[in-house]
Structure formats: C-alpha cells, structure tokens
Structure 1
Amino acid sequence: MELHVVIEGGKDLTGQLVRQLGDAIRAGRLATGEKLPPSRLLAEQLGLSRKTVSEAYARLTWDKLLTGKVGSGTFVADGVQRAQAVPAGRALAGAAVAARWRDMPTPLRHPAPAGSARYEYIGGAPDRQLYPHADWRRCVTQALRQGARSRGLYGDAEGLRELRDAIARHAAFARGVRCSALDVVVTNGAQQALDLVARVLVEPGCTVAVEEPGYPPARHLFSAQGARVVGVPVDSEGIVVDDIPDGTRLIYVTPAHQFPLGMPMSVARREALLARAQALGAIVIEDDYDSEFRYEGRPTDSLQSMDRHGNVAFVGTFSKTLSPELRMGYLIAAPAVREAVATAKHLTDWHSPVPAQWALAKFIEEGGLQKHIRRCHARYAERRARLMQRFANDLAPWFELVPAAAGFHMAALCRRPIDLGVLITLARRVDVGLYRLDGFYASSPPQAGLLMGYGAIDAADIDPSLDRVRDVLIQMR
C-alpha cells in the first residue's frame, strides 16, 4: 500500500513533501509510531530522487515529527501536537435530521460499567463459557474451504440457500413455524429484521403499536422511521388487544416470553391479536428472541403457525442461543412483504457475510445447534430454579418474581417501596450488577422492579451474590 502524497510540478519538491507529511502527522492521519516507507521506496513511488526524500525526512526529524531507529526505519515521533478538528458548519442543510439521529436513545448497548461486575444479572447475555468453540471452529474451517471453491461473487440478498433451508427446518422443529426456505431472509441479528420490516411498511405519521413495557430498541427504531409509536399495555395474558388503536399499520409483540416482564401470551389473546391485525390490515412482528429455552408447561404455538391470513412476520435470532457477536438472525417474512423485504435487504447491505452463513448452516445441519441448546437449557434451568427459590424465601419481603416459563431472564417486582437507585449503587460496590425495569417503559408509570438476567452468572455464584443483595436491603431498611 502506497503512502498518499501528491507532488505537483517540479519546484520545491522537498518542501512539498515536508508540508504534506507534516500536515498528515499533525492531523493524525499518520499515527504515533507509524512506520514510513524507506526513502528509496518512497522515491520510486513518487518519481523523486532518493536525496529529495532523505532531505524531507531529515527536516521532519529536526522538527521532532519523525524519529529514526537504526536498523528499523523512520517512524512518526511521540508527543506531536495534533491539530484541532475543524468544527462542523452551522449551515448544514440536514442539521435537524442529523441532530434527531444523534439524540436518539440507544438503550441496551451495555456500556461500562454494565457487564463489569463479578456477579452479573444483566439481561440478554448468554453464557460465554458455554459457547461451542470446538464445534464452531470446525464449521468455520469447512466454510472457508467452501468459500475457496466459490466464484467470489456477491450472494443472494435473502441469504445462502443452504442456511435458509437449515433455518426453515429449525424454526419448524422448534416453534412449529410454517415456512420454506423461500420465506426466510437471513439478517444481521434480529434488529436488522425489524429494520427491514419497518423500511417497507412505515412512513412518517403512520401508527405502530408496541408493548408497554417493551423492547426499547424496537420502539426507537420505529420512531426513527417517522412512525407515531403507541405503547399498548400488557397484563398477565399479554398485550391488551382492545387498546390497539385504529389505523395501526404494524404491531410489535414478544408473545413467547414478554420482554421484559416474562409472561407468555395466552392462546385466547393470541387469537384476538390475529383477528385485530386482520381487521386492521396490519402486520404483526413476532419477536421470538429466546423461546428455545423452555422449562415448564406445554409449548404454545407461535403466532405465525396460528396465522391463516399472512399477517405475521416471524423474527428469530442466534444472539441468545449462540452469541450476540455473530450478528446472525432471520426473518420469516409475511407473504405480502416478502419481495419488498428482499429488495430492502439488497439495498441496505446486499447480503450478510457468506462465510459466517456457511458455518452456521453446517453447524445447524450437523445437529450442533440443538446439542448446544440442550446443554445451555440444563445450565439455565438450574440457575432459574435457584433464583426462584431465593426470591420465594429470604428475598420475598422485598420482591416478587413474575412467572416466566422460557428464556433466561425474569422480572422481580418490588413488594414494598425501595430506592432502586440506591440499591443498584450499593450492590455494585459489593460487585453485584443489578438492572431496573424503568427504562422499558415509555408512556406509562413504570412498575418498580429489577430485570434478573441469569445467562451471564454461574449457578454457584447465585447464592453468594444474592446474599450480598439481601444484606444491602437489610442495611437500607
């Protein structure tokens, strides 16, 4: 790779080189410690004499911008005073739009100190220690071999056919979803699936209904598309269908494991929701983010499998079963928007990374995903049972767990007034990470409580960590 320097004409060649290299160093385009090309090589690249380049290097060394190391070369010196960035002009035509995006909330990004305590109850984080490194490494190796035999062209926007086949079979097996590979669009996580549906249905001023409380990134995504986002309350059976306003175009729900409270949507409520969507001509997004982990009771049908009118878009993710770092999800699109979603996917990022798709297809096909889910299920079930026992005993005076039969988080609602801000601060001082429910409410007074994620904490750590929480609560009392 050549160093970017532009030499004009034939005058003051050394001065031109000194000015350009000096500007690049002061602006930070050449970082501290960056090695510059040898004088002979740079002279050949620029069509200059080696003497000209050597003189420029010498002057920059005299100015303490470069430093020479015998036997190693010439490097950008330490301690260079960097030039201040030029502020953006106030006359930017799109300043209002940029400001709206800049000020858009970005919840659940897990910023520090989130996730940094010794005992972590952060939600949405699977156990990294359970990740199937050996099996995944083998599948990645096979994917690279497969890629070496390919033509090196762009892939299908909808995703690799082999992965779409594997996803269709997995969704049918695990959730009873009715689909074929032609219905599947591979996405960069569930969030892109939500974005694609919003892109093809939402326009400024239209109404989108979301659960209240609910998943903040979905709410803010729809708002960013210009929608009027209406929070619809949930009760013990799920979203209150009668409160979905007329004119709603898109309805976002988490029926298998309501986020963040955890209860499943009842069958009667599911039927009512599907009937309401049909009457409105609305699409329902069914976000099925972690229902693979079920601990008790009979499995319930997915909304998509109950749908007889093509109103449900089913969204799944591998962030909870495998790892958020993979950024792999999928959308089983409603028939009415299938082609539009494929076009939107093509125009936004063309397609998801093909090597990762090959690896995941192989991993699912060989049974690695089901084996991994079974392994995680056993560990999460143990942690869930321990949490339920503690909250039913010594923590019962302060909190009540909302019944949840799936996933790897539960909501703990306050039985009595507790200053949760103080509790969270004091708990972090004793190395316990706790997180409140307030941020999941947008349009109604929040229920006081905690989101207790148990994917990132070992079963052996639950008792000592909750002992510390109990002691803090006693001190606060």
Structure 2
Amino acid sequence: MELHVVINGRKDLADQLYQQLRSAIESGRLAAGAQLPPSRLLAQQLGISRKTVSDTYALLTYDNLLIGKIGRGTFVNARAVKAERKQAAQDLACAANLEKWQNLPWPLRHPSLESTARYEFIGGATRRNQFPQEEWRRCTQEALRRMAEHGGFYSQPEGLPALRSAIAGHVAFSRGVVCTEHDIVICNGAQQALDLIARVVLEPGSLVAMEDPGYSPARMLFSAQGATVIGVPVDEQGLQVALIPDGVRLIYVTPSHQFPLGMPMSQARREALLQRAQQLGAIVIEDDYDCEFRYEGRPTDSLQSLDSHGVVAYVGTFSKTMLPQLRLGYGVLPPAIIGAVVRAKHLTDCHTSTLAQWALAKFISDGCLLKHIRRCHTVYAGRRERILQRLDGDLSPWLQAIPSTAGFHMAALCKVPVNLPLLLERAKQAGIGLYSLDGFFNDTPVRSGLFIGFGAIETLDIDPALDQVRDILRQIA
C-alpha cells in the first residue's frame, strides 16, 4: 500500500514532504510503530530524488518523530498525538437535535461481559451454553458453501427465499400465522422491523397507541420518528381497547405475553382490537417476542391469524429463541404495507447478512430450531417453577407474582412499600442483577415491582440469589 503524500510542482520538495509527514504523524494518521517505505521506494512513487526523501527522514528523526532501526527500516516514534480542537456539539446547527438524542435513556441495555452480575435476572437474555453450537457451526459451514455458489452481488432486501419459506412454515406450525414467504421481510432483529413499519406508516405528529406499561424501546422509537405516543392502560385481559383514541395510525401490542406484566390478551379484546383498528384505518403491530415458550393452559393463536382485513403486522425474533447476538428477526406484513417496507429496508441497510440467513434457513429446515425450543422449554419451565415457589414462599411478604403462562420473564408487584432503588443497589453490590418495572410505565401510574428474567440465570443459582434478595428485603424493610 502506498503512503499518501501529494507533491505539487517542483519547488520546495523537501519542505512539502516534511510538512505532510509531520502532519500525518502528529494527527495520528501515521500511528506509532508504523513503518515508512524505504527512501528509494518512496522517491520512485513521488518522482523525486532519493536524497530528498533521505534528508526528510533524517530531519524527522532529529525532531524525534521517526526512529531508524538498523536492518529493519524507519518507523514512527512513540509519542503523544497532537490534540486538535474538534467542533463541539453546541457549535453545530443541529445542537438541539443532538441533545435530544444524547439525553435518551437506554432501556433494557444488556451489561457487557465485564460488568455481568454473578446472578443475572435481566429479561430477554439467554445462557450461551444453551445455544446449540455444533448444529449452528454445521449450518454456518453450509451457508458458506451456498454463498460461494452465488455471484458477488447484494442480496434481496426482503431476505433470502429459502429463509422466508422456512419461517413461513415455522410460524404457521408453532403460532398459527397465516402467510407465505412473499409476506415476510427479514430484519436485523425485531427492533428493525418496528423501525421499518413506523417509517412507512408514521409522519411527524401521527398518533400511536401502545400498552402502558409497555415495551419502552418501541415507545422511544416511535417518538424519535416524530409521533405522539399515547399510553393505553392494561388490565387482566390486556389492552383496554375502548380507551384507544380516534386518529390513531399505529397500535403496538404484545397480546400473547404482555410486556412487561405477562398476562395474555383475552379473545374478546383481540376481536375488539381488530375491529377498532379497521375503523381507524390503523396498522396493528403484534410483537410476538417469546411465545414459543408456553407452560400452562391452552395454546393461543396469534392475533394475525384472526385478522381477515389485513391490518396486523406480525413481528417475530430469533434473538430471544436462540441468541441475542444473532440479531435476526422478521415481519409478516399485510399486503398494504409490504412493498413500502421492502423499499425502506433497501434504503436503510440494503439487506440482512446472507451468511446468517443461509445458516438459519438450514437450521430451521433441518428441525434444529424446534429441537432447540423443546430443550430450552424444559429448562425454562424448571426455572419459572422455582421462582414462583419462592415468590409464594419466603418472598411473599414483599412480592406477588402476576400470573403469566408464556415467555421467560415474569413480573412481581410489591405488596408493601419497598425502597426499590436501595434494593437494586444492595443486590448489585451482592452480584445480583435485579430490575425494576418503573421504566416501562409512561402515562399510567407506576405499579412498583420487579421485572424478573430467567433465561440468563442457571437453575442452581436461583435459590442462592433469591436467598440474598430475601435477606436484603429484611434489612431494608
């Protein structure tokens, strides 16, 4: 690779070379330890004499910017990079908008590997040792072979036909979703699916209705796109449909496992929601984020399967089912919006990684996904049962579980006043990751309690962790 130096004319050649190399070193473009080309080679590249280059190297060495190593060459000397004043945010025309984004909270942000607690009750996370590494490695190797068969072109924004066909079969079997591969768009996680749908449905000032409490990243995403988000209260039957106001364009719900409280939406509410959406001309986003895992009661079909008018956009993810780092999700979209969403996807990032898509297509078609879900279901059922036993036992003076039949998190409300910030801080000091429900409420009054995930904690760690939580509650009560 050639060193980027530009020589203009035939005057002051040594000074031009000196100034450009010195600037590159002081700015850090030439990093400490980087080797410069031999003087003869650089002279040939620039069309100047070797003596000019040698003299410049010597002068920079005298200035302690370069160092010569006998038998090896000339290198940039280790020294502090000269600090240059960069434009501050307040100096820019977009300062107000930058401040708005800078001040946004980071709800549900997962800890780094270095800061992960010994006992982790965060929601939406899984244990790495549950992931079927060998099956996925075999599918990835097959994906590499499939990619080698194709030309070096970008892929389709809607996703590979093989993966969309596999997903269509999977969601029809497991969730009763009515679709073909032509109704599906592959995304980088469910969050991108929400973003794409909002991009094509909403305008600044549009009204969005969503559950309150609800999934705060969705609320913030809709608000960031200029929409006015209206929180609609939930009760034991789910979203209170009668409280959805006129003028709403988009309705976001989690009907199978309400986020974060956990109750499913009743059949009557589902039918009322579809009727209300048709009256409003609104699109309903059904976020079915973790409902492959059901522990009791009859399985419920998706809201999309009841939709005869084409108003439901069904959003799913493999981040919860398999591994968050995969960032693979999808939308099963009604005909009215799928064309616009595909174009928005093309403009946003062209397409999702084809390597991961080919691997997942094989993973599903080979039956590995269903086998993985069955394996995890047994593990999660045991963890859920143990946590419920503790909440009904020695933790019952302070906490009460909200009935939930699916997923791998639950909510527990405080039965008596508890200093939750202090509880969370004491737990953190003890190596326990506990999380409050507070941040999921927007317009409705906050109901104090805990958001308890059981995907990322080992079954044998539950009792030692909850023993410490009980002891902390006794201390601060």
Please report the TM-score for the alignment, with normalisation by the length of structure 1.
0.95
User: How many Å separate the matches in 1 of 2:130 and 2:72?
Assistant: 44
Q: Is the 2:435–2:450 contact (alpha carbons within 8 Å) kept by the matching residues of 1?
A: yes
Taking the aligned partners of 1:368 and 1:153, their CA distance within structure 2 comes to 29
Which stretches of structure 1, 4 residues or longer, exceed 6 Å deviation after superposition?
none
CA-CA distance at 1:314 after TM superposition: 0.3
Output the amino acid matched with 1:209. Answer: A
Q: 1:89 to 1:187 in 2, by over 3 A?
A: closer
Q: 1:296 to 1:65 in 2, by over 3 A?
A: farther
Counterpart of 1:249, as a letter, is R
C-alpha contact (below 8 Å) 1:175/1:301 kept by paired residues: yes
User: Counterparts of 2:230 and 2:58 in 1: how far apart (Å)?
Assistant: 66
Hey, what does 2:219 align to over in structure 1?
219
**Residue 317 of structure 2 is aligned to residue 317 of structure 1:** yes
Q: CA deviation at 1:320?
A: 0.5
After superposition, the CA RMSD in angstroms is 1.9
In structure 2, the CA distance between the partners of 1:112 and 1:139, relative to structure 1 (3 Å rule), is closer
Matched AA of 1:3: L
- Mapping of 1:283-322 within 5 angstroms? 283-322=283-322
Quick one: distance in 2 between partners of 1:296 and 1:72?
71
Question: What is the rounded CA distance, in whole Å, between the counterparts of 2:450 and 2:55 in structure 1?
Answer: 66
Distance apart, 1:231 and its partner CA: 0.8
Contact 1:115 1:122 in 2 (8 A): no
Q: Residue 179 of structure 1: CA displacement?
A: 0.2
Structure 1 distance, partners of 2:78, 2:39, is 21
Alignment of 1:19-98 (within 5 A): 19-88=19-88, 92-98=92-98
Does the CA contact (< 8 Å) of 1:391 and 1:401 recur in 2? yes
After superposition, what is the alpha-carbon deviation per residue over 1:220-278, rounded to whole angstroms, capped at 9, x for unaligned? Answer: 11111111110111111111111111110000011111111111111111111111111
* Residue 274 in structure 1 maps to residue 274 in structure 2: yes
Q: CA deviation at 1:347?
A: 1.3
Change beyond 3 A, Cα 1:399–1:2: farther
Contact 1:257–1:291, Cα closer than 8 Å, also in 2: yes
Bigger Cα displacement from structure 2, 155-164 vs 442-451: 442-451
- Any unmatched runs of 5+ in structure 1? none
Mapped partners of 2:132, 2:87: distance in 1: 47
- Does the CA contact (< 8 Å) of 1:157 and 1:351 recur in 2? yes
Distance change in 2, residues 1:89/1:329 (3 Å) = closer
CA contact (8 A) 2:263 2:402 kept: yes
The equivalent residue for 1:12 is: 12
Q: Give the CA deviation at 1:475.
A: 1.5
Matched, 1:352 2:352: yes
- AA of the residue aligned to 2:312: V
- How many residue pairs align between the two structures? 477
Residue identity (%): 62
Q: Distance in 2 between matches of 1:442 and 1:156?
A: 38
Separation in 1, partners of 2:355, 2:222: 31
- Give the match's secondary structure for 2:400: strand
Mapped to 1, the partners of 2:457 and 2:70 lie a distance apart of 52
Match of residue 386 from structure 1: 386
* Residues 90/432 of structure 1: CA separation in 2 closer, same or farther (3 Å cut): closer
Measure the CA separation in 2 of the matches of 1:248 and 1:211: 13
Extract unaligned runs of 5+ from structure 2. Answer: none
Instruction: Write the deviation string for residues 379-402 of structure 1: whole angstroms up to 9, x where unpaired.
Output: 111111111111110111111111
Other structure's SS at 1:101 match: helix
Q: Given the superposition, is the C-alpha separation of residues 400 and 89 from structure 1 closer, same or farther in structure 2, using an over 3 Å criterion? A: closer
Deviations 1:431-453 (A, max 9, x none): 11111111111223211111111
CA distance in 2, matches of 1:419, 1:225: 35
Q: Distance in 2 between matches of 1:337 and 1:424?
A: 43
> Which amino acid letter does the alignment assign opposite residue 353 of structure 1?
S
For 1:412 and 1:70, locate their aligned partners in 2 and report how far apart those are by CA, in whole Å.
70
The code of the aligned residue for 1:365 comes to S
1:35-434 correspondence runs (5 A): 35-88=35-88, 92-111=92-111, 116-434=116-434
Q: Give the CA deviation at 1:476.
A: 1.4
Note if contact 1:36-1:76 (Cα within 8 Å) is conserved in structure 2: yes
Displacement of 1:113 in angstroms is 9.2
Name the CA distance, whole Å, in 1 between partners of 2:113 and 2:398: 25
Q: Give the whole-Å Cα distance in 1 for the aligned partners of 2:44 and 2:375.
A: 60
Q: What CA deviation, in whole Å up to 9, does each residue of 1:286-306 have, x standing for no partner?
A: 001111111111110100001
Q: After TM superposition, give the deviation of residue 16 of structure 1 in Å.
A: 2.2
Shift of 1:118: 0.6
Distance 1:74 1:293, change over 3 A: farther
- C-alpha displacement of 1:112: 5.6
Post-superposition offset of 1:103: 3.1
- Partner of 2:320: helix, strand, or coil? coil
What is the distance in 2 between the residues matched to 1:379 and 1:36? 58
Q: 1:373 to 1:33 in 2, by over 3 A?
A: farther
- Letter paired with 1:446: V
